[in-house]
Amino acid sequence: MSEESLESIEEYLKGNLSPDKVLSSFSTGKENAGKCAIHGTNLSEMTEYVYQGAFIADRISPGFHPLIFGEQAISEMSELISDKTRDELDDFIDNHFSGPPEWRELIRRNKKVLI
């Protein structure tokens, strides 16, 4: 990722994540397995999400609280990615993934990327 993209996403996270949000993003109740760490949307209400964490085998790595980012947060962060990073991602897709060209165009148009 370009330095510009990294800085933009870092600023977004600094402005939207707080310790309280992170700690309240997970629940032990079955009906609420978690919430978006940015917007607080319940996991059960999401159609798309990213679960981010640091794991060793089947255990959470000490000192790193896993986070869930819902579709709204993913979309917002995707908008922060620079043109340079988008070009590099497009080149990576072109060089490493095959399939019908129309699939590539769907991926390029959607542009939801979280790294």
Tens digit of pLDDT for each residue in 48-94? 998 888 888 888 787 777 888 999 999 999 999 998 988 888 788 77
Amino acid 14: pLDDT: 92
| Structural domain count, the chain | 1
Long-range CB contacts for residues 37-41, cutoff 8 Å, separation at least 24: 37/67, 37/68, 37/69, 37/73, 38/69, 38/70, 38/72, 38/73, 38/76, 39/70, 39/72, 39/73, 41/70, 41/72
Residue type, 87: D
Q: What are phi and psi of 114, to 5 degrees?
A: -135, 120
What is the domain range of residue 28? Answer: 3-110
Q: Is 115 inside a domain boundary?
A: no
Q: What mean pLDDT is predicted for residues 32-60?
A: 84
Q: Is 34 inside a domain boundary?
A: yes
Q: Is 65 inside a domain boundary?
A: yes
pTM over 0.85: no
Q: Is 82 inside a domain boundary?
A: yes
